Structure 1
Amino acid sequence: MSKPNYSGTFHMVEQDNMDSYLAALDINFALRKIVCLLKPTKEITHDPATGAMKIRTITTFKNFIMDFIIGEEFTEDLGPVDGRTCQTTVSWEGDKLVCVQRGEKGGRGWTHWLEGDKLHLEMRVEGIVAKQVFKKAV
């Protein structure tokens, strides 16, 4: 069974519990408030044949690029997010992309899944869960 193609541009339409998630990452109060006001756009390129994926998260404040092969561990530089690096693996669990980030923060990672024209993102760290929903641009 083939996996969904995540390619596209998605604009954030909904966000929940982001401040608590950022606090668990030790992000200072002022920066948390700025981040919670941002409305990021995700630009995803995905080649299902090779498993290569690039996720660009674009904001008016800071951009973050994640470039990887699904199923292969890599060293991720989270400097733009919280100044850390970690060992990251993104794998398929059914039609969902599940990311595990091993480093100094426990239980860190995220899950992406598609429902119609919506891209869902659930971010986890140390038992705290934040959610974002993005709508695909036409």
Structure 2
Amino acid sequence: MPPNLSGYYRFISQKNLEDYLQALNIHVVLQKIALLLKPDKEIEHLGDHLTVRTLSTFRNYVLEFQVGTEFEEDLRIVDGRKCKTIVTWEEEQLVCVQKGEVPNRGWRHWLEGENLYLELTARDAVCEQVFRKVK
């Protein structure tokens, strides 16, 4: 049975964000801004329906989806693209595959204790972010 990810999570750390942003061909000015941000995550998890809010002082991003159902994701706020997205459970990890212009694009979320991990991939770049549950 997958874990319930509901909660509010405060940013703790990240590794390799710059490589990930370069793999997405994000403009260098936006890369510099993104590297300064410490986004929080708010997740509502009700059965197979999830809403994931990434919250920062620069820009917020809301992703709402049904696990196992492919949908068109509008990532223009992130990198100017759209893609076909599907999110599934692989044991206790929530795994997202984003099909579009950028190969090997996606992410996975999982819990370890009070920490929420996010692994972002694009091309051969891998970024890991860690968040701590606060409520």
- Quick check: TM above 0.5? yes
Q: Distance in 1 between matches of 2:93 and 2:16?
A: 21
Q: Distance in 1 between matches of 2:2 and 2:29?
A: 40
Q: Give the match's secondary structure for 1:80.
A: coil
Query: Which structure 2 residues correspond to residues 109-128 of structure 1 after superposition, within 5 A?
Result: 109-128=106-125
- Residue 30 of structure 1, CA deviation: 1.1
Identity of aligned residues (%): 49
- Structure 1 segments, 4+ long, off by >6 Å, are none
Gaps of 5+ in 2: none
Q: Distance in 1 between matches of 2:110 and 2:58?
A: 25
Q: Distance in 2 between matches of 1:82 and 1:106?
A: 14
Question: Is 1:35 aligned to residue 38 of structure 2?
Answer: no
Number of residue equivalences: 135
Aligned to 1:68: 65
Gaps of 5+ in 1: none
Match of 1:99 among 92, 96, 100: 96
Instruction: Using structure 2 for the length normalisation, give the TM-score.
Output: 0.98
Aligned to 2:75: 78
Aligned to 2:22: 23
- Residue 3 of structure 1, CA deviation: 1.5
- Residue 28 of structure 1, CA deviation: 1.0
Query: Which structure 2 residues correspond to residues 35-54 of structure 1 after superposition, within 5 A?
Result: 35-48=34-47, 51-54=48-51
Q: Give the match's secondary structure for 1:81.
A: coil
